[in-house]
C-alpha cells in the first residue's frame, strides 16, 4: 500500500574525478569564508560595546518607591500569578505602626525575588501590577558564572531612595495611565505625608 505520493528518485551516478578529489569543493568553501572576512561584522564586543535599545526595552526590573520613598509593592501576588515563567516569589508581611514611611500599603513584600534565568522579559508582571510597583527597565541583567546570583532580591530590585538613585520609568507610561495620574483625588495618586523617618 502506498502511504504517500511524495517520492524521490535516488541517483546512483558515479562521481567524476573532480568530485572524487574534493579539492575544488574545499577551495570553493574557503572562498566563501574569505569573502566574509571583508564584510561588515554583525557581532559586537559586549559588554564593552552595547547596542542602542528602545526606551521601552524590557530589561531588568525595578521595584518602585512613591514620592516620599515608601515601597509601592503591597505583595498582592498578581505579578507572580501573571508570570508565565513562574519566576517571581514573595513573602508578604504586615506593616507595623511607625513604618508608614517605609511601606505605602498596610501589607508589603518582606521578601521579593525574581529568578532572572527563568524570566522571559515578557512584561506581564508590569501589566498586572495595580500599584505601579514593578517596571521593566532598559538596563541589562549582568552575566555571571553562578546560577544562584541570578536570583534577584529586594536589595537589587528596589530602587534607591535618594533622588539620583530613582529609576525613571515615565517613558513606559501609556497615554491612558498619564491621564489617570492627573486625578489627584484617587488614593492611588495621593502623595502621602511622611510621619516618621
Ligand atoms: S517579565 Fe514576564 S517572565 Fe519576567 S518576571 Fe515578569 S512576568 Fe515573569
Ligand atoms: S509588584 Fe505589584 S503586582 Fe506584584 S505583588 Fe507588588 S503590588 Fe502586587
Lowest mean pLDDT among 59-63, 100-104, 184-188: 184-188
Domain boundaries, the chain: 61-189
Q: In terms of C-beta density within 10 A (0-12 exposed, 13-18 middle, 19 or more buried), how is residue 92 classed?
A: middle
At 195 the pLDDT is: 58
At 197 the pLDDT is: 47
Residues 6 or more apart whose CB falls under 8 angstroms from that of 192 comprise 66, 67, 68, 70, 100, 104
pLDDT digits (tens, 9 = 90+) for 115-144: 999 999 999 999 999 999 999 999 999 989
Pocket mutation for ligand 2, best pick of 72, 74, 93, 107 (most atoms within 8 Å of C-beta): 74
Question: 61-189, what's its fold?
Answer: Alpha-Beta Plaits (3.30.70)
pLDDT digits (tens, 9 = 90+) for 63-117: 999 999 999 999 999 999 999 999 999 999 999 999 999 999 999 999 999 999 9
What is the atom index within ligand 1 of the atom nearest the CA of 121?
A: 1
> Does residue 51 or residue 94 have the better pLDDT?
94
Confidence of residue 187 (pLDDT cuts 50, 70, 90): confident
Pocket mutation for ligand 1, best pick of 85, 90, 129, 137 (most atoms within 8 Å of C-beta): 85
Distance of CA 151 from the midpoint of ligand 1 (Å): 13
Amino acid at each position: 500500500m502506498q502511504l504517500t505520493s511524495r517520492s524521490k528518485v535516488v541517483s546512483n551516478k558515479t562521481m567524476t574525478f573532480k568530485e572524487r578529489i574534493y579539492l575544488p569543493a574545499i577551495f570553493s568553501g574557503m572562498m566563501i569564508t574569505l569573502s566574509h572576512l571583508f564584510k561588515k561584522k554583525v557581532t559586537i564586543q559586549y559588554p564593552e560595546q552595547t547596542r542602542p535599545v528602545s526606551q521601552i526595552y524590557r530589561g531588568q526590573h525595578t521595584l518602585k518607591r512613591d514620592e516620599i520613598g515608601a515601597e509601592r509593592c503591597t505583595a498582592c501576588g498578581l505579578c507572580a500569578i501573571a508570570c508565565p515563567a513562574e519566576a517571581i516569589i514573595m513573602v508578604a508581611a504586615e506593616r507595623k505602626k511607625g513604618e508608614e514611611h517605609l511601606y505605602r500599603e498596610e501589607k508589603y513584600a518582606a521578601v521579593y525575588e525574581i529568578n532572572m534565568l527563568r524570566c522571559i522579559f515578557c512584561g506581564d508582571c508590569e501589566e498586572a501590577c495595580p500599584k505601579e510597583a514593578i517596571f521593566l527597565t532598559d538596563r541589562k541583567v549582568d552575566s555571571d558564572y553562578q546560577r544562584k546570583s541570578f536570583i534577584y532580591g529586594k536589595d537589587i530590585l528596589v530602587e534607591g531612595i535618594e533622588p539620583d538613585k530613582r529609576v525613571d520609568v515615565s517613558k513606559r507610561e501609556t497615554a491612558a495611565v498619564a491621564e489617570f495620574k492627573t486625578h489627584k483625588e484617587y488614593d492611588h495618586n495621593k502623595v502621602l505625608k511622611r510621619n516618621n523617618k
